[in-house]
Amino acid sequence: MDIKKKDEWFKDEAFWDQFAPIMFDEQRWAEVPAVADGIEALYTTLAASRGKAGKALAILDQCCGLGRLTVELSLRGHRLTGVDITPSYLEAARESATDEGLTVELIQANVRHFVRPSSFDLVLNLYTSFGYFVDPADDKQVARNAYDSLIAGGLYIIETLGKEIAVRDFTEGEWFERSGAVVLTEYEALNGWEYLKNRWILLKDGARFERNFNQRLYAATELKKLLLDVGFTSVFVYGGWDKRPYDQKAQTLIVAGRK
């Protein structure tokens, strides 16, 4: 299979609209405060500018989606800029912010191109939003944009599915019911675990919607090297928001780079 010929599926707004209720259900929303707690704790521990801990931070949320985290962090007094490529998601994020009486900057842009030099204390790329571009150089560009957008001593946090966890927990497929729909999934490792192929089928109200896409998988050492190559002076690796080690019991892969 030639990965290079795959289209940029993430530009398909219909996919995000169809699968939003599946990917962002009540459980995912309920997890947001704990994730925000973890982010603030990591910043307090790791950022060279951590003297600002407990104060309002300028935060960039790459691939902010529906704004779950953007709104939560804004509620905590931080100054948020959210960037995403999907207009309907940004509109939903804008409505959530307005409902909470918040002022949040939301920008429709591709994270490969968005950069605002030396403007943020903290840049986030969470919920497995890293690794979907056809060219791996684009992943590095996203990280470089984060580096350039940070002030000296600022922190970049990526949270994603680590290759080690993908191998450990691999299943060829599953089906489940959620939000009034039936979802069928198939998974396949490609190119020696360089990619994880995803096939998702959604059945609801007599309609069928299908999408195939590939995610580039990074081992912890690979993602750490990528951030060091971009210019981050120190890179830290964790297996959960409680700062547990990234080992056989890891829940997710969290990599934090300090500028």
pLDDT tens-digit profile of 40-93?
Answer: 999 999 987 655 666 899 999 999 998 989 999 999 999 999 999 989 889 989
Over residues 134-138, mean pLDDT: 94
In terms of residues, how long is the chain?
Answer: 259
pLDDT digits 0-9 by tens, 80-97? 999 999 898 899 899 999
Do 109 and 180 reside in the same domain of the chain?
A: no
Do 174 and 223 reside in the same domain of the chain?
A: no
Do 66 and 139 reside in the same domain of the chain?
A: yes
Among 29-43, 50-64, 92-106, 109-123, which is the least confidently predicted range? 50-64
Tell me the average pLDDT of the chain.
90
Cα distances from 19 to residues 108, 145, 247, in angstroms, run 20, 28, 31
Do 184 and 83 reside in the same domain of the chain?
A: no
What is the per-residue pLDDT for 30? 81
pLDDT over 90 (residue 176): no
Do 112 and 177 reside in the same domain of the chain?
A: no
Our count of domains for the chain comes to 2
Cα distances from 146 to residues 78, 113, 125, 143, 194, in angstroms, run 18, 11, 9, 5, 23
What is the per-residue pLDDT for 229? 98
Looking at per-residue pLDDT, the higher value among 174 and 9 belongs to 174
Q: Whose CA is closest to 258, among 141, 156, 180, 110?
A: 156
Do 125 and 225 reside in the same domain of the chain?
A: yes
What is the per-residue pLDDT for 2? 47
Do 37 and 155 reside in the same domain of the chain?
A: yes
pTM recorded for the entire structure: 0.89
Looking at per-residue pLDDT, the higher value among 248 and 9 belongs to 248
Long-range contacts of 97-101 (CB under 8 A, 24+ apart): 97/67, 97/70, 97/71, 100/71, 100/74, 100/75
Looking at per-residue pLDDT, the higher value among 115 and 3 belongs to 115
The CATH number for 88's domain is 3.40.50.150
Residue 111: φ, ψ to 5°:
-65, -15
Integer Rg of the chain from CA: 18
As a whole-number percent, the residues of the chain with pLDDT over 70 amount to 86
Range of the structural domain that residue 197 is part of? 166-213
Do 120 and 145 reside in the same domain of the chain?
A: yes
